[in-house]
Chains A and B, each alone.
Chain A
Amino acid sequence: MLARKLVIAGLGKTYRTGRGETVALKDVDLDIDENEFVALVGTSGCGKSTLLAIAAGLETQDAGVISIDGVPITMPGLDRGVVFQSYTLLPWLTALGNVEFALKAAGTPNRDATGIAQAHLALVGLDGFEHAYPSELSGGMRQRVAIARALSYRPKMLLMDEPFGALDALTRHHMQELLTAIWEKHRLTVLFITHDVEEAVYLSDRVAVMTNRPGRIKSIIPVPLPRPRRYELISTPEFRKLQLAVLEEIRTESMAVAALGKVLA
């Protein structure tokens, strides 16, 4: 029996705006095991980024509990490494400087920080780019630095909010392969948010499909595909079948939303 790492139970979040209330999340239940890779898919605006922000401790929920190793999450912490969709490298620091920045914030002694930072840049294939500034790096390279930064201080789990969403298709495929290779080697608990079904199936052990307004987990689809995974996997019938199953879940969901829209109109 695997240990439960992240437990989300009955999570709810409502935004109050000038024009009323928006229920972003309602009764969200999701458990992630130790060293498990779970992808959360859903249409845009379904609240999946809100869920991640709450897990990161950057927002607070109105209802329910979210805990890591049994300890409720109430604020941000170094036990969770976060990778955002937007580029969050500090532009005045080099690639190495950005990773060192996180390490120093985490209390790593200065004399160790450089070595650890270099090792993590090498892990994401960026040896030789240590002294490049973010403005000199491509979008994919910047996200690789961001991943190296989030891994460097050894968080208990990684929270990724559409980290490859802003990249072109080719770079995105490279990044998915890279992330899979790293994950297969250095097992870590990951919650990965995406709206790309292929990406979700390729990367994860389980895919959670989220409904729209209010956001809740509609179904969880296990991905029993063998590892190590290579990119050829996506053209196999098994992969296609899983991809279709997830798509079908999302499709019926968006049809329901459309039908509701008609009723309301």
Chain B
Amino acid sequence: MTAAEYLAIATAVFAALAIAWYGFTASGMIRPLFLPSPGQVISRLRELWISGQLAADAGISIYRIGIGFLISTVIALPIGVLIGCYRAWEAAIEPFVDFIRYMPVVAFVPLTILWTGTGDVQKFLIIFIGTFFQQVLLIMDNVKSVPRHFIDLGRTLEMPEWRILQRIVLPSALPGIWDSMRISLGWAWTWLVVAELVAATSGLGYRITTAQRFFLTDLIFGYLLLLGILGLATDQIMKFAGRRLFHHREVA
């Protein structure tokens, strides 16, 4: 399948959904309070865009996810690599990570508010709890899937352990790690909006909660669409960057 065909199919699905949405609302079967029309949603978004509200809400959310995700990734990387390489460290850390990983992130929201208040730090903390433990395990698996023979090659060349790690294991695991980052970034968005829905004074999630109080369904829909578009865009950008960075990896 060519890239153009792929794009055509993907666009067709979006177009079909948009038409179905329009058809439903135009038929008058559903009250606009439950499902506003595309026109309503677009004009609401435009209004918020002109007032600067939309950019401000999106900006603060992107800032929070940027910092939260960065903190999580920077700490998860060395730990994931360490437990991927050494059994003893795996024994020390992996079961603990699994233990925390299964605790619902939502349940940490009241605790984190208690600990840090309702500011940005609490958002970072929720994003961290939601992504860090997943990232550690994903990165561990990426490192473990480095072919045994690559490491043997390093040994036969008398490379010291740290040099094998630096010159063979890391570059070999990098495309997989990149993919893990891409996947965990998607989860991070979810946790950010959860945190903003519960306790915040700004951001996309906060705006959705206040819209609910005034039955502004068109705003809720508009921001949901915006979140989807932001997610799709970051995912596509990371995929594209990954293909460019690791273009020669695709083995025939």
Contact = CB atoms under 8 A, between A and B. Distances in A.
Given A84-B149, A86-B149, A90-B150, A76 B249 contact: no
Nearest to B159: A105
B250 interface: yes
A134 to B, nearest CB: 7
B249 A88 contact: no
Nearest to B164: A105
Contact of B249 (A77, A81, A135): A135
A76 B157 CA distance: 7
Interface size class of B (residues with CB under 8 A): 20 to 34
Given A91-B248, A135-B250, A135-B252, A78 B158 contact: yes
Interface in B36-57: none
Contacts of A134: 248, 251
A133 B157 contact: no
B153 interface: yes
Contact of A133 (B155, B156, B174, B248): B248
B156 A56 contact: yes
Query: Which range contains the number of A residues in contact with the other chain?
Result: 20 to 34
A91 B154 CA distance: 14
Contact of A58 (B155, B168, B250): B155
A82 B171 contact: no
B223 to A, nearest CB: 41
A153 B156 CA distance: 12
Contacts of B152: 56, 58, 76, 82, 84, 88
Nearest to B245: A92
A91 B249 contact: yes
Contacts of B249: 91-92, 135
Interface in B74-111: none
Interface of A: 56-58, 75-78, 80-82, 84, 86, 88, 90-92, 101-102, 105-106, 133-136, 153
Interface of B: 147, 149-150, 152-159, 163, 167-168, 171-172, 174, 246, 248-252
